């Protein structure tokens, strides 16, 4: 194998690795839109001045779900992010609602 073939093989391996690692979002990120809406509404209704920054974990079991969520200041002020665990329940209209949270 000459140097061109070796260089080509290494380049292809790098491109494939890059495509796999950057190409898609995790299952947690893909399935959080409804839960993010519910959590942000809950935080706003409680006047907590926070919003969802990202989901760290999400588990759904029928009509209930539990998520570990990283929160940040609602207005985007720089500061420390906190993680809370939220418990959700599916509502009669099919949307998700927060029933409790733990700091």
**H-only helix segments in the chain:** 3-22, 27-30, 33-45
How far apart are alpha carbons 55 and 15 in whole angstroms? 28
> DSSP class of residue 62?
T
Q: What pLDDT is stored for residue 23 in this prediction?
A: 43
Residues 6-40: pLDDT tens digits?
A: 544 444 444 433 333 444 444 445 579 999 999 99
CA distances from 40 to 47, 72, 86, 97, 103 (A): 11, 11, 11, 10, 15
SS3 5: helix
- Mean pLDDT, range 59-77, rounded to an integer: 92
Residues 82-102: pLDDT tens digits?
A: 999 999 999 999 999 999 999
CATH tag, 26-102? 3.10.450.630
Q: What pLDDT is stored for residue 78 in this prediction?
A: 73
């Amino acid at each position: 194998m000459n140097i061109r073939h070796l260089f080509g093989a290494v380049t292809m391996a790098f491109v494939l690795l890059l495509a796999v690692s950057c190409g898609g979002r995790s299952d947690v990120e893909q399935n959080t839109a409804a839960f993010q809406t519910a959590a942000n509404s809950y935080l706003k209704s409680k006047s907590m001045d926070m919003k969802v920054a990202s989901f760290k974990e999400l588990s759904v079991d029928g009509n209930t779900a539990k998520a570990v969520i990283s929160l940040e200041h609602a207005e985007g002020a720089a500061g420390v992010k906190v993680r809370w665990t939220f418990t959700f329940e599916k509502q009669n209209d099919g949307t998700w609602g927060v029933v409790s949270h733990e700091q």
